[in-house]
Amino acid sequence: MGEVYLAQDTKLDRKVALKILPAEVASNRDRMRRFVQEAKAAAALNHPNIAHIYEIGESDGTNFIAMEFIDGVTLGEKIHRERTELRKLLRYLQHAAEGLAKAHAAGIVHRDLKPDNIMTGPLRNPLEDWRGRDGRGLPR
């Protein structure tokens, strides 16, 4: 739900991933509620393998989530484009499982776990996109 852009947080001088909710979606109360719930669900989690949420807001009628920018590629890209060796892929999956365990302990289910929602950075690989196909990344 929404597109993600690389942006600059000018107040804190850092790169952020900015997830934008399309205007036609923002006008739908149910979808807007799910957008806010996605941000709240992810923000409630504090783990090195889960992308941090910095802010949710609205500017000039555009709703957004500002989150941690992970300088890397998705696990899907590692699998299909880079042909990463199995040992490394398993390590990425272990990190993802650790993040998921933290979420599950808090009663939160990802609902859209796939290689394209796992970022692989130099030190860790946070999970992103906590909503799932039905828009719910909420307590189970």
The answer to whether residue 134 is domain-embedded is no
- CATH of residue 26: 1.10.510.10
* CB-count exposure of residue 108 (10 Å: 0-12, 13-18, 19+): buried
Tell me if residue 30 is catalytic: no
Query: Which one of the listed residues 13, 30, 112, 129 is annotated catalytic?
Result: 112
Domain boundaries, position 99: 3-120
CA atoms within 13 A on the CB side of 109: 9
pTM (two decimals): 0.75
Tokens of 64: 């957004």
Residue 24 confidence (pLDDT) above 90:
no
Please write the tens of the pLDDT for every residue from 29-68.
Answer: 998 888 788 778 878 888 999 989 999 999 988 889 899 9
The answer to whether residue 11 is domain-embedded is yes
Residue 75 confidence (pLDDT) above 90:
yes
The answer to whether residue 128 is domain-embedded is no
Q: How many domains does the chain have?
A: 1
